[in-house]
Structure 1
């Protein structure tokens, strides 16, 4: 049996930017202009880090369509 010692040092990184005061209700924001303009990020579709990833994927689908 192997015994492990507790770490001497530890650091936690939190996704601190995923707490917008007014998050957008959709996965992305698209502007009705002549040129396609789509914005995405952790402020779209929720306030978790997964929201940023899902927002980026939804934006990619929107651009590809």
Structure 2
């Protein structure tokens, strides 16, 4: 493994806020996409019922929110 000549200040910086920001962005986009899909399926003009993939997407969204 290659080692660099990084300063102690650089090595002491936490990358956690950046990681949390990217995770939050991903979760918000996932919730928006799942919500919009369910909203479209639930409209009165839509004669379609929820399909297997809709339930799978809801389940994946709930699990993603539970992990963090």
TM-score, normalised to structure 1, is: 0.33
Larger radius of gyration: 2
Higher strand share: 1
Q: Which fold has the larger relative contact order, with Cα–Cα distance below 8 Å and residues 6 or more apart in sequence?
A: 2
